[in-house]
C-alpha cells in the first residue's frame, strides 16, 4: 500500500467487511467498509499478518497465510479489505476498499 509520506512510521491495519458498498465512520474517518461482525473482528483483534508499520515513505506491505480455521467460514464469500493508518489509537487515513474472494 502507498500512503502519503506524512504517514511514515505510523501503524496500519487491514480491516475487512462482508458488506459491499457501505461506509462506517470510525474516529471521524469514513471507512469504505460496513460495520459487521467481520469488521469488528479485524478492528479488535486482527491477525498479525494484517498489521504493520509504514516505512519512511509511508508504504507498507502485508503477506502471510491465513489458517483454514480462520478462513473456512468465508470460503466462497467476498470480503472487502481496506488499509487504515493509525496515529496512536486514532484512525488517520484509509485506502479504498478492494474485493477479495476467499477460495479453498
**Rounded Cα–Cα distance for residues 95 and 93 (Å):** 7
For residue 79, count other CB atoms closer than 10 A to its CB.
21
| 51-53 and 98-101 strand pairing | unpaired
pTM value? 0.86
The answer to whether residue 67 scores a pLDDT higher than 80 is no
**Predicted pLDDT of residue 24:** 94
**Rounded Cα–Cα distance for residues 15 and 51 (Å):** 9
The answer to whether residue 86 scores a pLDDT higher than 80 is yes
What are the tens digits of pLDDT across the range 25-34?
998 999 999 9
Where in the chain are the domains? Answer: 5-65+72-101
User: In which band, very low, low, confident or very high, does the pLDDT at 16 lie, cut at 50, 70 and 90?
Assistant: very high
Amino acid at each position: 500500500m502507498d500512503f502519503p509520506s506524512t504517514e511514515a512510521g505510523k501503524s496500519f491495519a487491514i480491516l475487512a467487511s462482508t458488506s459491499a458498498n457501505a461506509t462506517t465512520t470510525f474516529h471521524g474517518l469514513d471507512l469504505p467498509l460496513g460495520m459487521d461482525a467481520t469488521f469488528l473482528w479485524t478492528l479488535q483483534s486482527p491477525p498479525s499478518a494484517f498489521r504493520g508499520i509504514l516505512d519512511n515513505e509511508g508504504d507498507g506491505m502485508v503477506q502471510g497465510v491465513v489458517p483454514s480455521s480462520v478462513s473456512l467460514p468465508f470460503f466462497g464469500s467476498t470480503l472487502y479489505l481496506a488499509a487504515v493508518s493509525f496515529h496512536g489509537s486514532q484512525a488517520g487515513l484509509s485506502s479504498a476498499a478492494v474485493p477479495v474472494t476467499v477460495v479453498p
